[in-house]
Amino acid sequence: MTQDSITQAFRSWIARSGLLLLAVLLAGCSALRLGYSNGETVSYWWLNGYVDFESSQQPWVKKHIDNFFAWHRKTQLPDYAQLLGKAQQQVQRPATEADALAYYDAFRKRMLTVVDHVLPDLAELALSLQPQQIAHLEGKFASNNENYRKEYLRGDVDQRQRNRFKKVMKQAEYWFGSFSSEQESQIRTLSDARPLDNEVGLEERVRRQEEMVAMLRRIHDEKPAKEAAMRMIRDYVDRSFNYFGDTRHKTFSDAATKANAGMLAAIVNLATPEQKAHAARRLQQWIDDCHNLAARD
């Protein structure tokens, strides 16, 4: 797998999850050690940018974030190290599309484990949000969407393909080191063969955001019991994985995931022994980070 596939898997899930997870899983992205070294502070700062906490909310939000990191460090990182160890072995063998898809499924299961653990915290947070905070969140989403348009909707198809290929190469080089011009040409062909429809991507993220805002407003208006709020949030997560019943979005996403998996397997297979050794060393760094962070008091 490439760093981009890991990062995108986390980012995709973060976008489909609840508010607290938007921040606390930053440590699961590309900067694992940095994320955990500063995770509690960065997570609070980032989440506050979306919600704009009131003074009465700040202490318990920080406490929940601290508790989450302690739990995640002790119970989840050792498992992540095992998964990365499997990837370290896999990268030395011929890879298939099915192999890459299996890692996507593995990440999804682990993400749902985290969702279920933090559901009580998410419900407590959702029940505490005021109308102006939900409006602040909606405004933040709108700002993010404008940035998305600037980054992904500019230029013609050829330019979008080039920009996407550059990101693929940046992440592939992180894991495997430098590539020959012939290898880059093959990767470019694989990259361009993937479905490309950034407009669908924008539509899907807007739908996700609208559903979240509607859920939060419903929780505020109805003031359900905590257990009922937990069920509402879990239902939102489940429906988001199914693209809220939008067949067009699901069809595109499934095709893109399948193509990404095929590309990842092909990159592993065209890598030289030296490049695979580079990937094994990089994965070992992540494994060591997981073990070291899990052992931290």
211 vs 91: CA distance, rounded Å: 39
End-to-end alpha carbon distance in the chain: 31
Instruction: Show the low-confidence residues of the chain (pLDDT under 50).
Output: 1-32, 34
pLDDT per residue as tens digits for the range 65-116 = 888 888 988 998 899 999 999 999 999 999 999 999 998 888 888 888 988 9
> What pLDDT sits at residue 10?
35
pTM greater than the 0.75 cutoff: yes
Report how far residue 38's alpha carbon sits from residue 191's, in angstroms, rounded to the nearest whole number. 34
pLDDT of residue 17: 33
What is the structure's pLDDT at 6?
37
Domain ranges of the chain: 3-294
Residue 26 is predicted with a pLDDT of 31
- Which pLDDT score, from 0 to 100, does residue 297 have? 66
